[in-house]
Amino acid sequence: MKLHQSLSLSVLLYEVVRVIALLIIVSSVQTESLLSPVFIAFLLAPQVLFVFMALFIWMDEQKYHMYLPLYIAGKVITLWAGLLWVVVSFQSILKSWVMYTGNPTETLMLAFTVLIPLEIVTIIGMSLKLKKSAEDK
């Protein structure tokens, strides 16, 4: 196996922790009209693909180099959807930040809000990795 870079490992660990944390928070949400845990878990299931892409890139970057653009594109779509959600739900998010009651739905909302800057960091980091690997070729 090749020498692994710390960026790939940190992205992999971030992805694993992110998916596990979101699934734990989702499992604590009470069954409500549209926010049932099963529905949200169904929406979160494709996020596991980011974990696998980060794992393959970490294991052998040269072999799985083609996943970098796909990873970045998926993260940009996730970021775009998250920012759109923040704009639409800004009042609810602000209310949750100011008057946090411990409601699992509020916790989920705040978790998604906190993840947006981390998504930006992963996009930038993997874009730099893509640029560096393109320069190496």
**How many domains does one find in the chain?**
1
Give the domain extent around 16: 1-136
| Angstrom distance (rounded) from CA 114 to CA 95 | 15
pLDDT band at 1 (very low <50, low <70, confident <90, very high): very low
pTM of the entire predicted model: 0.79
Q: Phi and psi for 75 in degrees, rounded to 5?
A: -70, -35
Q: So what's the pLDDT on residue 35?
A: 60
Q: Which residues in 59-81 are b (16+ Cβ under 10 Å) and which e? A: eebeebbebbeebbebbeebbee
- For 3, the 3-state DSSP assignment is coil
Give residue-wise pLDDT tens across range 98-133.
Answer: 777 777 667 777 788 888 899 999 999 899 888 877
Better-predicted residue by pLDDT, 51 or 21: 51
Give residue-wise pLDDT tens across range 33-92.
Answer: 556 666 777 778 888 999 999 999 888 888 888 899 999 999 999 889 888 887 887 787
> Given the structure tokens 């699992």, which residue do they identify?
104
Please list, in sequence order, all residues whose beta carbon lies within 8 angstroms of the beta carbon of residue 40, skipping any fewer than 6 positions away: 26, 29, 108
Q: So what's the pLDDT on residue 37?
A: 66
